[in-house]
Structure 1
Amino acid sequence: MSALSALPVTGLHVVSRGQAGASEPGAVRGKLPLMYGDPVSWLVTEAVSRALAAGADQILTARDDVGVILVSARCTLKTMREVRRSSATGRVSPMRFTGASPGSAGSLVCMVHRLTGPTLTLVNDPAVGLGVAATIARAWLVSKAAAYVVVTAHEVSAAGEDVAESVVVSDRQQERET
């Protein structure tokens, strides 16, 4: 079952979707070679990239009005553990320290795609957090804080594979005419 199936979409128009999965999330690497990002951050960025590509014409022209919400119980856990291990030696990489913040998983999406709308990371299991994410997305859309909101759920499948699923929503039917 899809993690995003728990997203209550009442009052939201689904514009596009994207998904990325990797048994080793470090295999997904982004476009910014000098930037450290937790492997899950890059996986989330790939899922969002696919969702944005599916609706790019209308979404990417509104970069300043695209909000991002990530729901993940694990977020940057791998990097947090690496920082903890390296702190025992008395030396911590500043880039990894910054990349360990749970919020960096959603922030990387904004940096890669130059999105400047509101952002939020909910450190929750998607089954619990997606209801909150939908409420916040609706509030951002109704208040005009965002014209579109990308909601991404990250979880680990029963097979142990990290999976990120993204959906772009708006509060109205978007014109699909070109």
Structure 2
Amino acid sequence: MTSPTLIPQESRLTGTAPVSVVRGDLAEVERRGPLKFADPAAWLVRSALAEAAQALPAAPGETAGIIGVSEFATGQSLRAVAADAVEGHSSPRRFVAASPGTLVGLSSIEFGHVGPTLLLTMPEEPGWALAHTIAESWLTGEVPSTTWVAIVSYTVEASGAHRATCRWVSAPSPAGEVASP
């Protein structure tokens, strides 16, 4: 399964190639620890972010930023909260898991990143173009917010498969090479 063309041609950023993690069913996604109640889509995003980070020359550091793009976000948990409400009860754990921000927040917590985060609730292709523009601002502003940004998306394919795609980006170095964190 391939992801759409996600890197805008006009982007000045350098970084890793996009890496996708695909699962036919979100029940197949590994969840663990005290955050296991987070939406499974957030765990899939976390997997893509970790796999893409393996291509970096060094760890991105705690100030790494994350920009998420998804029009689906935490839909599974949101539907579970709605179903519980119909039954007259709901779990506080499900409310936390259902927050759309969990899609990027879980990875920030898991990897200790305290840089800027943002979730764009929009379709993947235009979202990646906007995410690159925002990342460029974070990375090349007068006072850069961070040295690395993970741009990650979550979508549900027409086949029903769940796909998370991540690309780590940085500002170009003077020689046009990927900067070391």
Does TM, scored on the shorter chain, surpass 0.5? yes
Residue in 2 that maps onto 1:133: 131
Question: 1:95/1:142 Cα in 2 relative to 1: closer, same or farther (>3 Å)?
Answer: same
**3-state secondary structure, aligned to 1:153:** strand
How many Å apart are 1:146 and its aligned residue? 1.2
CA contact (8 A) 2:171 2:179 kept: no
Partner of 1:6: helix, strand, or coil? coil
The alpha carbon displacement at 1:37 in A equals 1.1
Paired position in structure 2 for 1:79: 77
Structure 1: state its 5+ residue gaps: none
1:13 corresponding residue in structure 2: 14
Secondary structure of the residue aligned to 1:160 is coil
Count of equivalent residues: 172
Structure (1 or 2) with the greater helix fraction:
1
State which drifts further: 167-176 or 107-116: 167-176
> In structure 2, what is the Cα distance between the partners aligned to 1:101 and 1:71?
14
Q: Matched residues in 1 for 2:167 and 2:32: separation?
A: 21
**Is the 2:150–2:169 Cα contact (8 Å) retained in structure 1?**
yes
Whole-Å separation in 1 of the counterparts to 2:50 and 2:24: 19
Using the alignment, how far apart are the partners of 1:127 and 1:51 within structure 2?
A: 19
1:158 CA drift (Å): 2.4
Query: How far does the alpha carbon of each residue in 1:114-163 deviate from its partner, in whole angstroms, 9 at most, with x for none?
Result: 11100001111112211111110000001210100000121122221001
- Matched residues in 1 for 2:69 and 2:103: separation? 10
Partner residue of 2:47? Answer: 46
Q: Write the mapping of 1:109-128 to structure 2, written as runs, cut at 5 A.
A: 109-128=107-126
From the superposition, tell whether residues 49 and 11 of structure 1 become closer, same or farther in structure 2 (CA, over 3 Å).
same
Overall identity of the aligned pairs, in %:
29
Amino acid at match of 2:70: S
Given that 1:26 and 1:40 are in contact with CA atoms closer than 8 Å, whether structure 2 keeps it comes out as: no
Runs of 4+ in structure 1 over 6 Å off: none
CA contact (8 A) 1:32 1:112 kept: no
Task: Measure, in 1, the Cα distance between the counterparts of 2:31 and 2:18.
Answer: 19
Kindly state the Cα deviation for residue 30 of structure 1 after the two structures are TM-superposed.
Answer: 3.4
Give the deviation of 1:84 after TM superposition. 0.7
Contact 2:15 2:178 in 1 (8 A): no
Per the alignment, in what secondary structure is the counterpart of residue 59 of structure 1?
A: coil
Contact kept in structure 2, 1:16 and 1:167, CA below 8 Å: yes
- Specify whether residues 175 and 141 from structure 1 end up closer, same or farther in structure 2 by C-alpha distance, changes over 3 A only: closer
Write out per-residue CA displacement over residues 41-76 of structure 1, whole angstroms, 9 at most, x where no aligned residue.
111110001011222x5233x222x10011011010
Residue equivalent to 1:174: 178
SS class of match (2:87): coil
Task: Give unpaired runs (5+ residues) of structure 2.
Answer: none
Task: For 1:127, give the aligned amino acid.
Answer: E
Inter-CA distance 34–72: structure 2 relative to 1 (3 Å threshold): closer
2:108 partner SS: helix
